[in-house]
């Protein structure tokens, strides 16, 4: 190994060389020859090589300057563009509409990256991300186990889970297993009649204290009389003694409408 190929702990780098896992990511992304793919953190280019074979163009964004310089020789392809940039300040508007994201991302990036991909005016058609298994499960969770993250991502995306990739397949092995998280952008807004900021304010207040009931969190967080919260909940058939994680997205929507009309 050369120094350039040694993973840097400060950047959360873990190299994946397992061909089956890399192929599974490409399959989950459903790539076709007309696709433009944004790869985040290509590292040594093991995934990049496959992406350039399956897509029209691959734009690889790499923060590590040495890795970015070496990538064209590690994954030589005429349809590869390498950009030495920080994805957290990246201009997604520069990409063509309906691009796809495929990436083995550092764990520390996950929450911020998911937020950016969800809120950018030019979102990808899909994002296929290899991320921490626990996070992937939280994003895909159903009512009963829902979190603020799960509600936020499912608001914008149809969510599915792919292959689990054991920690031992990475160099160096992370402390936990990874899983392929598959996000497909909704064709139309899930709830076109809501103000997104107000909707997520309500949800954030509901999840602020997970052990407390909706009656307690909403009356305190929204500065409402308890009887008003009870009435709003019961008007949409929600027991005010339930907790935030038990509500479906549809129930959050109904509660929002009840409180804002």
Domain boundaries, the chain: 3-185, 196-259
Do residues 39 and 59 make contact, with C-beta atoms less than 8 angstroms apart? yes
More confident residue, 149 or 106: 149
Q: What is the mean pLDDT of residues 39-49?
A: 96
Structure confidence at residue 7 (pLDDT): 42
Query: In this predicted model, what pLDDT tens digit does every residue of 144-185 receive, in sequence order?
Result: 999 999 999 999 999 999 999 999 999 888 899 999 999 999
Cis peptide before 172 (omega within 30 of 0): yes
Structure confidence at residue 8 (pLDDT): 47
Q: Look up the pTM and report it.
A: 0.92
**Which residues share a beta bridge with 180?**
130
What distance in Å separates the CA atoms of residue 8 and residue 2, rounded to the nearest whole number? 13
Whole-number average pLDDT of the chain: 94
Structure confidence at residue 1 (pLDDT): 40
More confident residue, 131 or 3: 131
Same fold, 3-185 and 196-259: no
Indicate if the alpha-carbon torsion angle 118, 120, 124, 130 is positive or negative: negative
* pLDDT range class, residue 14, cuts 50, 70, 90: confident
Structure confidence at residue 3 (pLDDT): 54
Structure confidence at residue 13 (pLDDT): 63
Structure confidence at residue 106 (pLDDT): 85
What distance in Å separates the CA atoms of residue 101 and residue 58, rounded to the nearest whole number? 10
More confident residue, 174 or 23: 23
CATH code of the region 196-259: 1.10.8.100
Per the structure block, which two tokens stand in for 123?
Answer: 């979102």
Q: Which CATH superfamily hosts domain 3-185?
A: Vaccinia Virus protein VP39 (3.40.50.150)
Structure confidence at residue 4 (pLDDT): 54
* pLDDT range class, residue 28, cuts 50, 70, 90: very high
For residue 25, pLDDT beyond 60: yes
More confident residue, 57 or 8: 57
Enclosing H/E stretch for 206: helix 196-207
CA angle 5, 9, 14 (to 5 degrees): 60
Structure confidence at residue 40 (pLDDT): 96
């Amino acid at each position: 190994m050369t120094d350039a190929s040694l993973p840097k702990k400060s950047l959360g780098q873990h190299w994946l060389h397992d061909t089956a896992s890399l192929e599974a990511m490409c399959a989950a992304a459903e790539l076709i020859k007309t696709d433009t793919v944004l790869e985040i953190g290509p590292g040594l280019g093991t995934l990049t090589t496959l992406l350039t074979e399956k897509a029209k163009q691959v734009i690889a964004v790499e923060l590590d300057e040495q890795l970015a310089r070496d990538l064209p020789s590690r994954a030589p392809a005429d349809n590869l563009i390498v950009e030495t940039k920080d994805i957290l300040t990246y201009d997604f508007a520069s990409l063509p509409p309906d691009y796809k994201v495929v990436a083995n991302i550092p764990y520390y990036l996950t929450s911020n990256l998911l937020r950016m991909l969800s809120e950018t005016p030019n979102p990808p058609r899909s994002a296929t991300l290899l991320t921490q298994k626990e996070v992937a499960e939280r994003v895909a969770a159903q009512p009963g186990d829902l979190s603020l993250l799960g509600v936020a991502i499912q608001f914008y995306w149809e969510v599915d889970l792919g292959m689990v990739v054991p920690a031992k397949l990475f160099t160096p092995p992370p402390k936990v297993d990874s899983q392929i998280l598959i996000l497909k952008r909704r064709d139309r807004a899930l709830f076109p009649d809501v103000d997104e900021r107000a909707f997520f304010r309500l949800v954030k207040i509901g999840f602020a204290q997970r052990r407390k009931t909706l009656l307690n969190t909403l009356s305190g967080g929204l500065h409402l009389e308890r009887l008003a919260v009870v009435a709003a909940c019961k008007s949409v058939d929600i027991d005010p003694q339930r907790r935030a994680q038990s509500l479906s997205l549809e129930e959050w929507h109904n509660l929002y409408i009840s409180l804002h009309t």
